[in-house]
Amino acid sequence: MSTALMDGELGALVKVSAVVWAAMSYARLAAARLRPGAPRLAALLPVVVLLYTIPFAFSTTTFRGTSGFFLTWLGSFKLLLLAAGSGPLEPSLRLHQFVCSASLPVKLRQSTGKQKSKAPVRGPARILLCGAVIPAIIYAYQFKNSMNRYQVLALYTLHIYFSLDLLLATVHTVIHDLLGMEMEPQVDHPYLASSLRDFWGRRWNLMVPSILRPSVFRPVRARLGTVAGVLATFLVSGLMHELMFYYIMWTPPSGEVTAFFVLHGACAAAEGWWASHAGWWRPPRAAAVTLTLAFVAGTGFWLFFPAMVKGGLDEMVLQECQGMVVLMEQAGRRLAGATDLVSSTM
């Protein structure tokens, strides 16, 4: 990553931030003046379309992926829910609360003294942990040619987990420390999930299910039943993941990621059907956790991660991270030189 490219990305970030703030301010005003339904939807659709173009403003995988997840996926779904008069957004929210809730993976909650005391400790601690682990993962990518396929895919798994945790922890810290707002936790020990429903619905990347439940699952369930609602939810999640991969790698969708989520949706529906029968056999919790994680990892190695490998995402990330290290070294040398210059003149 060259200095010019980084400067261009930061400039694009400033412009995008200004555009998003203006667009969300308009969305709040329109929602306050129009009743839910067709009038509000018509007013908000231009903003929704705008959000789907935001990732094209960036050149690096990091900014394209982050803007795609925050704005194109979560932001557009939140606005569509707002058009229907539901979801986490309310025109009555203060402007900065509305913009943050619409633009970031944030679900606000009423804060208590106990919650406030915990937030400053957990956020920075997680940031430091992830900041220490991720460079080690990036360094390990250099030796992937000497690793077998499963070792490489395990490396991808760790990279995704710690990258998402770093991203959410950073957002949590900014929201809490700078804006004084509380947000609900977004990850809850996914390695303890005892079923697919537990993993996807209550432990992993919780902002996504909190948006898909009111926007996809509940409307479909009301018309076609629970199984159809579950399958539709996982199908939409798969399609949105395909879109995120397109933004990040500029490669056409392969369908593998959608197949991964449809498979998980079918298995989650089967889990729910089995659990609905009282008295039927249940595996011990330790066995259930082991089987769940094995299924997620096995199907991920089969369908999810190959799309990343084929698209060359690891090479892109490695090049960007190596470029970032060079830029940080250059900045450090400049800072040291400036410090020496100041010291010599005193």
Residue 220 and residue 227: Cα distance in Å, rounded? Answer: 9
Predicted structure pTM score: 0.84
Is the predicted pLDDT of residue 247 greater than 50, yes or no? yes
The pLDDT value given to residue 345: 61
**What's the pLDDT tens digit per position in 14-47?**
999 999 999 999 999 999 999 999 999 999 999 9
**What's the pLDDT tens digit per position in 187-221?**
888 999 999 999 999 999 888 999 999 999 999 99
Start-to-end CA distance of the chain, whole Å, equals 36
**What's the pLDDT tens digit per position in 289-336?**
999 999 999 999 899 988 887 877 767 776 776 666 655 555 556 556
Residue 160 and residue 228: Cα distance in Å, rounded? Answer: 29
Going from N- to C-terminal start, the domains of the chain cover 1-106, 116-183, 188-332
Q: Are 164 and 205 in contact (CB under 8 A)?
A: yes
Q: Helix 226-249 to helix 313-345 angle, to the nearest 10 degrees?
A: 60
Backbone angles phi, psi at 183, to 5 degrees: -130, 150
Q: Per the structure block, which two tokens stand in for 107?
A: 């679900």
The pLDDT value given to residue 186: 76
Task: Give a three-class secondary structure readout of 13-82.
Answer: HHHHHHHHHHHHHHHHHHHHHCCCCHHHHHHHHHHHHHHCCHHHHCCCHHHHHHHHHHHHHHHHHHHHHH
Task: Round the CA-based radius of gyration of the chain to a whole number and report it.
Answer: 22
Amino acid found at 161: Y
